[in-house]
Amino acid sequence: MAAQDAPVSHRQTLLQAIARLCVDHGLTDFIVAPGSRSAPLSIALARQPGLRCRVVYDERAAGHLALGLAQQSGRPVGLVCTSGTAALNLAPALAEAFYQQVPLLALTADRPPEWIDQQDNQAIHQRGLYEPHVRASYELPVDYGHPDAAWHALRTMHEAIQRATAPLPGPVHVNVPLREPLYPATPQTAASVAGLPGPWLSRKALPARPQLTGPAWEELLATWRSTTRKLIVAGLHPRCDPLRRALGKLSARPDVAVIADVTANLFPDGTPLHHGDAILGVQDPAALRDLQPELVISFGGPATSKYLKQFLRGLPPHAHWRVQPAGDAPDTYQTLTHLLPMWPDDFFAELARRVAPLPQPGDYAAHWLRLETSAGQLLERFLAQADFGEFQAIWRVLQALPAGSRLQIGSSMPVRYANLIGHASPGALLSVHSNRGVSGIDGAVSTAVGAALAGEALTTLIVGDLSFFYDRNGLWHAHVPPNLRIVLLNNHGGGIFDIIDGPDRLPPDLRRTYFLTPQPLTAQRTAADHGLDYLHAADAPSLDAALASFFTARPRAALLEIESAMAVNSQVFRQFKALLAQLA
């Protein structure tokens, strides 16, 4: 071997050891965005048995595809990109993963430190690039000649992968400075770990579940026994069957109500209240006071409902317990009194076991259930006779979703509509997800593709037009699976700004140009470009006809575009909110 090839060969041996270490820690998938500076990383990962590497050309799409894959699997998914602005494009997905507590491992290739700020190609400051929106940031050594450097690199990777999963899952960044030459002068096969200098130790972090002490439970149970109105509030949360069962038991008590965001994955068996958001749209002060809790227990990520935030801030409880295993506790409702460091499924299962088997008398839950019935009937009657638009279209799509399928919901209006409708399908969905950690529109398509790649279950994305066209590159690769369905709500602009309060008070020209952002596109050519079956609907009969075949098995993915008028959508939504205000 030529002397100049020796450092390259030694570096590749270490990178191959890092690839093997990833497999040892349970990683099975990497999303690779091609580039030259990242070539040594890509070569090592591609040669590693047990790793599935998918190439996605757009880094922003690659990041969100990894997010969707990790959402469904619950395991870390790796990312690789080259240096410079390529690395910046991973930031939106990593920020979303941070607030959704989704494990990602981002490996960014970099220039050696001496070439930063020296007008070298594709060189920016990458150390700590994603802070504070990662669980941890690391940087590997730039040279591996000394045995301690190799040991340090492997130790760093051990720590990075472990931080992605515990104590709270989330994204971790490892910056990897790489010197030229980047490619071996002669063909190489996968390197052997035995070629590494120094010790090779594989470490394993054993899982642990935090618990409360006996005195802590006594304090909580004293509060529980002294209150007759208990409200459990569930935000964004992955599906957890033990959690569903525990909350189902608690919600059977007359002094407990469980309201859940559509992304909390509790419907139908975690709570009988599927229309919590709609119920809280009532404007009668007396009706709201009847719902005021004495104790609130919250868990999970952000909740979509603005009504919920206004309700709890305006009618605060005496006590508010926040359940999460670690990290700073958000005080979304400005009422927080206790932080309970446990996983929600553990806490509610133990709570259900400890509370008295004979429930206290009371009609708190019954009042919520009466309003649940009224809200469900109002919604069904209204949508059955309302003018056709995206609200009615989502209702019909949700009713048509096959049991056992996955649902991905875009931000802005789609998730708001779905949260008001609740779970409409007659069969239980496998899971419901939305990028509501930071509520960006920039990766909805890519995330849904990643979710579909996680298994064979049918995966349906409901998405608005601006979000869809913004993320078309999520389809620009060779991995779009046939179990993906995209429902595109195309009102030809930013329809949410025609609905929410505020923009309607702006001058018409200013509002239309800078907020409604009209666009003339349809998705037919996009579907053709990326090999998707295309269906179209613009009224109720054509939508029903399309839905009759849309979810059936196909050899390739399919897209259903539903066109509607923005003005009609706005009118229908305002009419519905006016009806909710009178709910009693």
Which domain CATH number covers 91?
3.40.50.970
Same domain, 225 and 305: yes
Determine the pLDDT at residue 56. 98
Q: Mark which of 315, 346, 370 sits at the end of a domain.
A: 370
C-beta separation of 469 from 519 below 8 A: yes
Q: Are 171 and 31 in a shared domain?
A: yes
Say yes or no: 442 and 484 in one domain.
yes
Residue 438, domain member (yes or no): yes
Sequence letter at residue 314? G
- Is residue 402 reached through a cis peptide bond, with omega within 30 degrees of 0 on the bond before it? no
Would residue 200 count as lying in a domain? Answer: no
> How far apart (Å, rounded) are the C-alpha atoms in residues 50 and 493?
44
Task: Note whether 558 and 487 are within 8 A (CB).
Answer: no
Domain boundary among 181, 206, 227: 181
Residue 311, in any domain of the structure: yes
**Which DSSP state fits 401?**
P
Q: Would 208 be classed as within a structural domain?
A: no
Residue with tokens 């509501």: 436
Per-residue confidence (pLDDT) for residue 425, from 0 to 100: 75
| Cβ neighbours, 10 Å, residue 281 | 21
Residues 166, 264, single domain; the answer is no
Domain shared by 240 and 365, yes or no: yes
DSSP string, 456-507: SS-EEEEEEHHHHHHTGGGG-BS---TTEEEEEEE-SS-GGGGTSTTGGGS-
Helix ranges restricted to H, 198-338: 214-226, 241-251, 276-279, 285-291, 306-314
CA–CA dist 96, 133 (Å, integer): 9
Contact 161, 148 (CB under 8 A): no
**Residue 273 sits in the same domain as residue 175:** no
| Residue 205 resides in a domain | no
Of 33, 16, 66, 27, the C-alpha closest to 50 is 27
- Say if residues 439 and 95 touch (Cβ distance below 8 Å): no
Domain count, the chain: 3
The answer to whether residues 35 and 83 touch, using CB atoms and an 8 Å cutoff, is: yes
Residue 16 to residue 12: CA distance in whole angstroms: 6
* Residue-level pLDDT at 144: 81
Q: Which long-range contacts (CB under 8 A, 24 or more apart) does 131-134 make?
A: 133/91, 133/94, 133/95, 133/98, 133/99, 133/171, 134/94, 134/98, 134/106, 134/170, 134/171, 134/172, 134/173
Same domain, residue pair 331 and 442 = no
Quote the tokens at residue 203: 């470490």
The pLDDT value given to residue 205? 79
Residue 541 lies in a domain: yes
pTM: 0.94
Q: Structural domain of residue 168, as residue ranges?
A: 3-181
User: Tell me, what CATH number does 247's domain have?
Assistant: 3.40.50.1220
Q: pLDDT at position 230, please?
A: 97
> Could you list the mean pLDDT of each consecutive 10-residue stretch along the chain, which spans 584 residues?
59 91 95 95 95 97 98 96 96 98 98 89 93 98 86 94 95 96 68 52 79 97 96 97 97 96 95 96 92 98 95 97 95 96 98 82 90 95 95 96 96 93 83 94 96 97 96 97 98 77 77 79 97 98 98 97 94 93 85
Q: What is the largest CA-CA distance in the chain?
A: 85
Do the domain assignments include residue 493? yes
Instruction: Work out whether the CA dihedral 360, 362, 364, 370 comes out positive or negative.
Output: positive
Is 190 part of a structural domain of the chain? Answer: no
Q: Which of 341, 370, 399 lies at the terminal end of a domain, its last residue?
A: 370
**Same domain assignment for residues 391 and 366:** no
Residue 1: predicted pLDDT: 43
| Residues 242-264 as b or e (16 or more Cβ within 10 Å = b) | ebbebbbbbbebbbbbbbbbbbb
Q: Enumerate the β-bridge partners of residue 113.
A: none
> In the prediction, which pLDDT does 183 show?
83
DSSP string of 231-259, one letter each residue: EEEE-S----HHHHHHHHHHHTSTTEEEE
Same-domain check for residues 470 and 556? yes
**pLDDT the model gives residue 333:** 96
- Evaluated on CA atoms 222, 226, 228, 230, the torsion sign reads negative
pLDDT, position 2: 47
pLDDT computed for residue 355 by the predictor = 94
The SS3 of residue 338 is strand
The secondary structure of 50-105 as a DSSP string is T-EEEEBS-HHHHHHHHHHHHHHH-S-EEEEE-STHHHHTTHHHHHHHHHHT--EE
Residue 32: its H or E element: strand 29-32
Give the pLDDT confidence score for residue 248 in this predicted structure.
96
* Amino acid letter, 102: V
415 and 332 share one domain? no
Burial of residue 131 (number of CB atoms within 10 Å: 0-12, 13-18, 19+): exposed
Whether residue 274 is found in the same domain as residue 152: no
Asked whether residue 331 falls in the same domain as residue 413, the answer is: no
Q: CB pairs under 8 A, 24+ apart, for 190-195?
A: 190/16, 190/47, 190/48, 190/49, 191/9, 191/12, 191/13, 191/16, 191/17, 191/44, 192/13, 192/16, 193/13, 193/16, 193/17, 193/20, 195/10, 195/13
Tell me the angle at which helices 344-354 and 241-251 cross, rounded to the nearest 10 degrees.
40
* Sheet order of strands, 136-139 included: 52-55, 29-32, 77-81, 104-110, 171-177, 136-139
